[in-house]
Structure 1
Amino acid sequence: MQIQVNTDRHIPGDDTLTDSIREELQHALKRFDEHVTRIEVHLSDQNGENRGGADDIRCLIEARIEGHQPNVVTHDAASVKQAFTGATDKIKRVLSTTIERMKSH
């Protein structure tokens, strides 16, 4: 499973952040390994650097299953960690449902 991490110009996308996200996703989505070919993570600050605000960090996770349309989830939170954790929980539920449906057909 390939994992690509993208950030906007307001969130520093250094190697520490990227490696941490990759590790956590590989662990969290391990049971979907044989189905998921690619994961893309997009982190963005919805308000920009000059304006604060509650829940202004967005994490979008796109998971691609071979032969199917991508599954996409988003989660908004006050920090990168919270946004990523929320989006990870959502994509796990979506993938679980999608793969169960694939198996039942």
Structure 2
Amino acid sequence: MLVSLTRRIAPIYRLFSDKSSMVIQFKTDKNIPGSEEYTAQFIAQIQADLNRYRHHINEIKVYLSDEEVQNGCHTNACLLWATVEGHKTLEISGRGDTPEQAVDSTLVELKLTLNFLLGS
């Protein structure tokens, strides 16, 4: 599995991969810490959660942000795009009080969608 740790609004670089591996690109906005150790935790979680589907997914793009919603309250949002063989690109979003909760909720929704699409 090839992994790209990108940060903020950096350009996306296409990585070489064979048909059996998925490329993961992870970006955060300026309000979320983006050290390699911090983003590596999320990448490891994504790899583990989607391991079952790795032969069907070509690429995953994740964007994690901290948004102000109302009255100064903040929420974390996770947008995820998954390129799945034989299907249109999936766009899934999730929210949570913490970045971890936002990523978790997005991955749960993605797995439900993949189970439906792939008949698993």
TM over 0.5: yes
State the percentage of identical aligned residues: 30
The aligned amino acid for 1:28 is D
Q: Superposition RMSD on alpha carbons, in Å?
A: 1.9
Q: Report which structure shows greater RCO (CA 8 Å, sep ≥6).
A: 1
Q: Which of the numbers 32, 37, 49 marks the counterpart of 1:28?
A: 49
Give aligned pairs, total.
Answer: 98
Unpaired stretches in structure 1, ≥5 consecutive residues? none
What are the Cα deviations for residues 66-105 of structure 1, in whole angstroms up to 9, with x where unaligned? Answer: 34211111111111011111111111111111112xx9xx
> What amino acid is aligned across from residue 78 of structure 1 in structure 2?
D
- Displacement of 1:52 after TM fit? 4.4
2:114 paired residue number? 95
Q: TM-score, normalised by structure 1?
A: 0.84
What amino acid sits opposite 2:77 in the alignment? R
Q: Out of 5-14 and 59-68, give the one that drifted further.
A: 59-68
Which protein is richer in helix relative to its size?
1
Query: Runs of 5+ in structure 2 lacking a partner?
Result: 1-21
How far apart in 1 are the matches of 2:80 and 2:34? 16
Deviations 1:11-62 (A, max 9, x none): 12111122111111111011101100001111011119xx7425x1101111
